[in-house]
Each structure stands twice: as structure tokens, then as C-alpha cells.
Structure 1
Amino acid sequence: MTRILDAVDEIIADAVTAVIEGLVFAIENLTKDERIGFMMTSRSRGEVTPSLTSDTALSFSRSMLHRYEVDWEANGFDDEALVELSEFCLRVLYLFLIDTAKAPRHGDNPRTYLARWVGPAVIYPRFADAMGAITKVASPSPRSRRRSAS
């Protein structure tokens, strides 16, 4: 556990980079761990698949996000939104952990792939806020109808 936390101590202040690097680190390290693969795919009759979105997992995920030098609030993430981002990241990670049959993405490829698909989710709060500001400015003010002269 300490090894994982120490690995993300690198100073990253960009929200997208922080999320992508955290996911890449987890994917690259956890997919190699046979115990994780066994836990995710093997179960006896009647057992349920372990949850990667448990309260403990969400708490750990949020603590990982807070280790970066990212100003999450400035990026549009209040506490509730960070919980949602943590859950989203855990669900993405889960898919990479259970579906290892497809060719794994190594090197820069997982970064490119995740930046393309996860990156927009991370910038969405800022984008939505900016679009809200634009629509407020761009909205025409109600006009009164001119009366024709008779």
C-alpha cells in the first residue's frame, strides 16, 4: 500500500494528468498481480464479485487524488464530485482488471487511450461552467414587440 502512495507523490498539478497517471500506474501494476486477477475473476458458487467501489475503496481513491498538487476545487470538483470521480476511476480500473484477454495497452498507449476517453470526464466540470457562462452572455434579452403605426 505504501509503495502505491509513494509512487504518486510525484508533483502533478494538472487534473487530467493526475487522473491518467494514477490510472496507468494502477493498471500497469495491478494487472501484473495474479492475486488481484484471481480476486476479480474467481469466485465459488454463491459468492459475489468483490466491489471496487466500496466505501474503503472510494476513500482510498480520494486519498490518492488528494496526494497530487491539483486544486480540485478550481477544476470544478467539490467533495461530492470528487467522490463521483473516484467511483468513475475505480470502475474504469475494474474493467481493465477483469478484461485482460484483449491486447493490453503498454507504454504511452494507455495514456493516449485514457486521455482520449477519461480526460474529457475530468475537464467536464470546467467545461460545463464555461459553457454556462457563455450561454448567459449569449442569451438574447427578451424584447418587447414593436407596435406598428396605424
Structure 2
Amino acid sequence: MRTHGWGGAPPADDDEARDRILTATRTCLAATGTARTSDVAGALGITRQTVYRYFPTTEDLLNAAAMAAVVELQHDLTADVRRHLAAGADAADAVVEVVAFVYEHLRDDPALSRLLAPGRIAGTLAGLTAPSSIQLGRSLLAGFGVDWAAQGWDPDRQRELVEHLLRTLQSLVLDPGDPERSGAELRGYLQRWVAPALRTVQQTGLP
């Protein structure tokens, strides 16, 4: 690992170097909507060759920044939903927040928006309902602190719930509406048309 540059504070190891490069990349994306390797290197006080050591191409760099944003989104989403539940929200409120929170971040975070860029959006949308995405969604559900099984949601029903939420997210990304709803408007829409269905399934045990 090269230790010169880095604004006089070289990273302790390669993992820290990668993290700092990705953080700088996301900062550049947020500020200008783009992140050239030269911009990232300049922001960190290092050479482009140092960036290339960790990310051989700009495409690799931007893809890694998008994946880092996905990991951060998962963490922030769990914390957000837990706050809502602690404030008295029920499971239906929680899933409304899941869809709205993820949609807003896909739209507003430049690193995540890359996943929806022309040429990528078809693959991203198709991947939303892939088995791996549904499994990830089920893992997130388990981390919210809701006893889904005790509320009548067996594993098959949990899988279908995740699929339904991902399909709702798909449709919002594909066609956000004209005009696009604000955060409060989107949550109100989901509360009217998504939350009641979940409460009905939970209360009646519909097959």
C-alpha cells in the first residue's frame, strides 16, 4: 500500500484505503453527479495510479461505490424501521416505511441512482425479484424486531410479503408518477393501498 499523499494521514491498511476512496467517490457523486478517477484522487491527495491499484477502472470504482451504498442503505433502513416500531407503528406501518425509504434512497443517492441509469435499469429491476433479493429481504424483515411468525406470517407468507414489496418498489421505480409524489404523499398512498391489505391478511389469516 502506498503511504504518501492522503492529505498527510495515510490509511492504516488496504481496507481503510478502499473505504476512503469509496467515501471520496460518493462525495464527488453527491457534489457533481459524476466521479472521475482524477477527481477522486485529487480529493484524497493521491495519484490516479493509487486509485487504480484498488479499482482498476472507473467502472469498477463506481460499481463498488454503488455496492457500498447498498450496504449502508440496509443498515440505515433497519434503524429507521426500528425507530418507527418503537414509536408505536405496527407491522403494516413498517412495510410501508420499507418501500418508501428504499425508493427515496434509490432516487436521491447518486451512488444508488447509478443502478437505475440507462442500460442498467432493466437488469436492476429484474434483479429486484430474484431469489437472492427475496432472501435478502427476508433477512431484513428478521432484523426489524417483529415476531412475524407470532403474528401469523409463516415462512412462505413472509417470502410472498417480500416479493409483494419488491414488486411495489419495481413499479414505483419504473413509473414514479407525474408529478412524482413527495415523501409524505407516497407514504399516504402506501398507507391507503398497501397497509390495509397486510392488516387484513394478518387478522383473517387469508390463504
Into which bin does the TM-score normalised by the smaller protein fall?
0.7 to 0.9
What is the CA deviation profile of residues 21-51 of structure 1, one whole-angstrom value per residue up to 9, with x for unaligned ones? 111111101123432322225x8xxxxx633
What is the CA deviation profile of residues 64-83 of structure 1, one whole-angstrom value per residue up to 9, with x for unaligned ones? 21111212123221000000
Name the counterpart of 1:14.
Answer: 90
Name the counterpart of 2:73.
Answer: 4
Identify which range, 100-109 or 76-85, moves more after superposition: 100-109
Task: Sort the Cα spacing of 1:101 and 1:16 in 2 relative to 1 into closer, same or farther, 3 A.
Answer: closer
Unpaired runs of at least 5, structure 2: 1-69
CA shift for structure 1 position 18: 1.3
CA shift for structure 1 position 101: 5.0
Within-5 A mapping of 1:96-135: 96-100=172-176, 102-129=178-205
Q: Which has the higher helix share?
A: 2
State the superposition RMSD in angstroms: 2.3
Q: Is the 8 A contact 1:9 1:67 kept in 2?
A: no
Cα distance in 2 for partners of 1:94, 1:121 equals 18
Name the counterpart of 2:141.
Answer: 65
> Which of 1 and 2 has higher RCO (CA within 8 Å, sep 6+)?
1
Larger-gyration structure (1/2):
1
**For 2:121, which of 40, 60, 72 is the aligned residue?**
40
CA shift for structure 1 position 123: 1.2
Identify which range, 76-85 or 8-17, moves more after superposition: 8-17
Q: Name the TM-score, length of structure 2 as normaliser.
A: 0.54
Q: Is the 8 A contact 1:61 1:86 kept in 2?
A: yes
Cα distance in 2 for partners of 1:100, 1:37 equals 13
Q: Is the 8 A contact 1:62 1:86 kept in 2?
A: yes
Paired residue type of 2:121 = M
Unpaired runs of at least 5, structure 1: 44-48, 132-150
